[in-house]
């Protein structure tokens, strides 16, 4: 298929684009490279790869590059609550309005696979798994905008949504500000971390499995379209304390403690069911433990805190 990925040079896209190319698809990436990243140099030799340097809010540019595409994957996004709070107007225009623009410009039959975040579940319901039928009650601007874009995508038809768990793992466009990546970095380099709201839970998924879930959605589009799917590790609904305990198993000298003096600005707290997407035949390949081991290895290479969004 001929596929357009906006924001395809980011943390997820720089894993997804090579995977799609390896499967024989034609891939166009539209990205403004706002972080100065260069992760797609390795695929420039591929004649089925095209890179367009530009902004996903540029109507003329988006219209031109949606022509003749079979699949549209809008990854362009200001990711995370801190960045959206820092740049609220930009967040609205990129995370919501650019999605609506893409939907308005596409031709009949073009498939859209949209990545939401399961942070839309907010604080969840105590001791109850969030299924796709659970209410979306986002508590951050980031979560609200992503949920509004999800609604627009599903209402437009010929679309599906993945509500992604907190992503972790090594990517060519690395990010250190994601929770697992951050905690492992601190464990390797500082040897300790101070936890706020240590019992707040969330779900996790490796970045390569995120790429795989998009591949799965493309292959199974006709039977999966029109719906949202949670995508995460079913055995990894963990609190921050439990995550630290997993890290400590591989780095025994890692010390963590809880402080009551401050609050974490990220109040998300939920457990998630991934049963629906598992029934379609998808299961993640990379465990949390394998991802932690990978990160420990990667942090022998990454020594500077230059890979974050804020």
Any idea what the CATH number is for the domain that residue 88 is in?
3.40.50.720
Q: How far apart are CA 204 and CA 28, in angstroms?
A: 28
Q: How far apart are CA 8 and CA 5, in angstroms?
A: 5
**Tens digits of per-residue pLDDT, 60-102?**
999 999 999 999 999 999 999 999 999 999 999 999 999 999 9
Say whether pLDDT at 128 is over 90. Answer: no
**Is residue 258 a part of any domain in this protein?**
no
**Is residue 245 a part of any domain in this protein?**
no
Number of structural domains in the chain: 1
Mean pLDDT on 186-195: 95
Q: State the pLDDT confidence band at 147, using cuts at 50, 70 and 90.
A: very high
Position 174 scores a pLDDT of 94
**Is residue 173 a part of any domain in this protein?**
no
**Is residue 134 a part of any domain in this protein?**
yes
**Is residue 306 a part of any domain in this protein?**
no
**Is residue 48 a part of any domain in this protein?**
yes
**Tens digits of per-residue pLDDT, 238-264?**
999 999 999 999 999 999 999 877 666
Position 197 scores a pLDDT of 87
Domain that holds residue 105: 2-167+205-231
């Amino acid at each position: 298929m001929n596929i357009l990925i906006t924001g395809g040079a980011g943390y997820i896209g720089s894993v997804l684009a090579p995977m799609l190319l390896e499967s024989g698809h034609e891939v166009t990436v539209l990205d403004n490279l706002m972080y100065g990243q260069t992760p797609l140099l390795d695929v420039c030799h591929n004649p089925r790869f095209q890179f367009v340097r530009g902004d996903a809010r540029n109507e003329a540019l988006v219209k031109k590059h949606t022509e003749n595409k079979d699949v549209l994957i809008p990854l362009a996004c200001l990711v995370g609550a801190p960045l959206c709070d820092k740049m609220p107007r930009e967040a609205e225009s990129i995370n919501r309005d650019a999605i609506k623009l893409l939907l308005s410009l596409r031709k009949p039959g073009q498939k859209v696979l949209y990545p939401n975040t399961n942070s839309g579940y907010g604080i969840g319901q105590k001791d109850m798994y969030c299924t796709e039928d659970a209410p979306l009650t986002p508590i951050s601007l980031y979560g609200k905008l992503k949920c509004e874009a999800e609604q627009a995508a599903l209402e437009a038809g010929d679309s599906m949504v993945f509500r992604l768990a907190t992503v972790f793992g090594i990517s060519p466009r690395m990010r250190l500000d994601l929770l697992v990546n951050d905690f492992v970095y601190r464990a390797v380099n500082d040897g300790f971390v101070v936890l706020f709201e240590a019992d707040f839970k969330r779900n996790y998924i490796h970045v390569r499995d995120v790429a795989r879930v998009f591949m799965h959605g493309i292959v199974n589009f006709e039977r999966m379209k029109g719906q949202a799917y949670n995508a995460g590790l079913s055995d990894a609904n963990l609190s921050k304390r439990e995550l630290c305990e997993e890290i400590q198993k591989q780095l025994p000298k890692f010390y963590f403690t809880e402080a009551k003096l401050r609050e974490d600005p990220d109040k998300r707290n939920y457990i998630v069911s991934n049963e629906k997407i598992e029934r379609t035949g998808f299961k993640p390949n990379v465990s949390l433990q394998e991802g932690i081991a990978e990160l420990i290895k990667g942090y022998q290479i990454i020594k500077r805190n230059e890979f974050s969004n804020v």
